[in-house]
Every structure is written in structure tokens, then in C-alpha cells.
């Protein structure tokens, strides 16, 4: 057999296997049951409009707050990691290793229950969500931003300093704006991850109007004894994450072109 013929046979075999699997599934599955469980149109309709006006909106708010705080803290940590003062670097390293290593769920529990217990304070739920998501996101974003800052050519700082800019001014006006262009795609990826992590807020206990997509879907599942709300909630996540994914690819393509 020539190599080309062999390749064609292999491809044909793969199509064959896929078709076979599909056929077996189609013949053996109880379609009525699956339809009732996942695609119950009445149940799906009943989720609207709250799943959008409350749940989706809350997911976006929680994620947005967490991302904004995480970005600011991540930038600070990145600058600490690049600092010429060793304790700054140590602190940042410890922070990053810690928050990358522990489950986000644990951070939510610690902030939601531990902090109020330990310090006898009541913390607003939005603040708790922002802190928990931000603390975790910052650990990932710090490494990304640090790499971005280091990817800015040394000549940029030298040109800025030669024009009389202080180190700080050169960072703010010259290095960081360029670094952010470099790290925009990985940051958008981080935003996608945070969107999904925002579901962890359920451990804080949510009032009806505070529910985000996952909790909303789970409650509806209990109410309707149907998986359909979970499917709808899942699709709502995709409404957020797929455009973000497209954005990432567009930004990556643009970054590749700019080189």
C-alpha cells in the first residue's frame, strides 16, 4: 500500500468507528427518557426570564468584580516579583504558590465563614465574592503579567530612562501598557476560568436574588425533577465563554500579526 492509500484507509476506518458508535447509541438509547430529562421544553421555558435577568447577570457581576480585584492584585504581585527588594519577591512567591495550590472552594469557605467568625465582622456578600475570586485569580494573573512585563524589550526602559523618566514613570507609561497588550489573550483565558469558578459562591448561601447560574440551575432541578435547567444554565455559560474564547483567538492573531 502506498502511504497515501494507507492514510485514506485510516481516515475511512475512523469515520466507520464513529458512525458505528453513533448508530449503537441511537438504537439503544431511550430517546423519550432523554428528551424528558434534558430537553423538556416546558421546563426550559419556565427558566426564563429569571435565568437571564438574575442568574446570568449575577454570574457576570461576580466574575467582573473578582476579575477587577484579581487584576489589580495580580499586577501588584507581578511588580513585587520583579522588585529589587528580596522580601517583596519572597512575599509574592509565597502568595502565588499558596493560592495556586489550594482549591478555590476552600478560599470561599475561609472568607465566607472563617473571617466573620475569627474577626466578628459581617462582610458584604459581594465583597466576599470579589475577594475570594480575586485572591485566587490574582495568583494566576501575577505570573502572566510578570511574563508580559519581562517580554517588553529592555531598550524600551532604556529609552524612557534616557528621556528622564523615573523607573516608576517608565513602568506606568511605557512598560505596563505594552505588557498588557502582550498578556491580553492569556488574561481573557483567565476570565473564562473565573466565570466558571464564580459558581463556587453557592457555599456562601445565596438568597433568591443573589443566585448565579449554577445555583439557579440546581434549585430548578430540584423543583422540576428535570435535568433541563442544568442544560439551560450550561448554555448560558457558553453565551459568556464562547465569545470570550473568540476574543482570545482574535487577540492572539492580532498579537501574532503585530510582531
Partner 1 sequence: MTTDAPPEGPAIEVAGLHKSFGDLEVLKGIDLTVRRGEVVCVIGPSGSGKSTLLRCVNLLEQPTAGKVTVSGTEVTDPDVDIDRMRRRIGMVFQAFNLFPHLTVLGNLTISQRRVLGRGKAEAERLARAHLAGVGLGDKESAYPAQLSGGQQQRAAIARALSMGPELMLFDEPTSALDPELVGDVLAVMRKLADEGMTMLVVTHEMSFAREVADRVIFMDDGQIVEEGPAEQVVTDPQHQRTRLFLARVLDPAAAEVKEVG
The answer to whether residues 120 and 152 touch, using CB atoms and an 8 Å cutoff, is: no
Minimum distance of partner 1 from residue 181's CB (angstroms): 7
Minimum distance of partner 1 from residue 246's CB (angstroms): 24
Query: What CA dihedral angle connects 111, 113, 117 and 122, to 10 degrees?
Result: 70
C-beta of 72 vs 163, nearer to partner 1: 163
> Cβ atoms within 10 A of the Cβ of 166, count?
10
Q: What span, in angstroms and rounded, lies between the C-alpha atoms of 73 and 27?
A: 54
Q: What span, in angstroms and rounded, lies between the C-alpha atoms of 256 and 192?
A: 21
Minimum distance of partner 1 from residue 154's CB (angstroms): 9
The answer to whether residues 128 and 109 touch, using CB atoms and an 8 Å cutoff, is: no
Minimum distance of partner 1 from residue 68's CB (angstroms): 22
C-beta of 88 vs 178, nearer to partner 1: 178
The answer to whether residues 182 and 148 touch, using CB atoms and an 8 Å cutoff, is: yes
C-beta of 89 vs 181, nearer to partner 1: 181
Minimum distance of partner 1 from residue 85's CB (angstroms): 18
C-beta of 160 vs 188, nearer to partner 1: 160
The answer to whether residues 132 and 63 touch, using CB atoms and an 8 Å cutoff, is: no
- 39: Cα separation from own chain's centroid: 27
C-beta of 5 vs 154, nearer to partner 1: 154
C-beta of 129 vs 160, nearer to partner 1: 160
Q: What span, in angstroms and rounded, lies between the C-alpha atoms of 70 and 143?
A: 12
Minimum distance of partner 1 from residue 73's CB (angstroms): 24
C-beta of 5 vs 257, nearer to partner 1: 257
Binding site for partner 1 (CB under 8 A): 153, 155-156, 158-166, 169, 173-174, 177-178, 181, 258
State the alpha helices, DSSP H only, in 50-199: 50, 57-81, 86-101, 104-109, 115-119, 125-151, 154-162, 167-170, 176-197
Minimum distance of partner 1 from residue 149's CB (angstroms): 14
Amino acid at each position: 500500500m502506498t502511504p497515501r492509500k494507507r492514510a485514506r484507509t485510516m481516515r475511512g476506518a475512523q469515520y466507520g468507528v464513529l458512525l458505528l458508535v453513533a448508530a449503537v447509541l441511537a438504537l439503544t438509547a431511550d430517546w423519550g427518557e432523554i428528551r424528558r430529562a434534558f430537553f423538556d421544553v416546558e421546563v426550559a421555558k419556565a427558566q426564563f426570564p429569571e435565568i437571564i435577568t438574575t442568574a446570568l447577570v449575577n454570574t457576570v457581576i461576580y466574575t467582573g468584580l473578582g476579575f477587577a480585584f484579581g487584576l489589580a492584585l495580580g499586577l501588584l504581585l507581578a511588580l513585587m516579583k520583579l522588585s529589587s527588594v528580596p522580601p517583596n519577591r519572597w512575599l509574592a512567591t509565597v502568595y502565588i504558590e499558596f493560592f495556586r495550590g489550594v482549591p478555590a472552594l476552600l478560599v470561599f469557605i475561609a472568607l465566607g465563614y472563617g473571617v466573620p467568625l475569627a474577626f466578628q465582622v459581617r462582610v458584604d456578600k459581594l465583597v466576599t465574592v470579589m475577594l475570594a475570586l480575586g485572591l485566587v485569580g490574582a495568583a494566576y494573573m501575577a505570573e502572566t503579567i510578570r511574563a508580559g512585563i519581562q517580554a517588553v524589550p529592555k531598550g524600551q526602559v532604556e529609552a524612557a530612562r534616557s528621556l528622564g523618566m523615573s523607573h516608576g514613570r517608565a513602568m506606568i507609561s511605557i512598560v505596563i501598557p505594552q505588557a498588557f497588550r502582550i498578556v491580553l489573550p492569556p488574561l481573557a483565558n483567565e476570565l473564562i476560568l473565573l466565570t466558571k469558578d464564580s459558581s463556587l459562591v453557592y457555599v456562601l448561601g445565596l438568597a433568591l436574588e443573589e443566585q448565579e447560574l449554577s445555583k439557579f440551575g440546581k434549585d430548578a432541578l430540584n423543583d422540576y425533577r428535570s435535568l433541563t435547567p442544568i442544560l439551560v444554565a450550561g448554555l448560558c455559560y457558553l453565551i459568556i465563554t464562547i465569545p470570550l474564547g473568540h476574543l482570545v483567538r482574535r487577540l492572539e492573531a492580532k498579537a501574532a500579526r503585530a510582531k
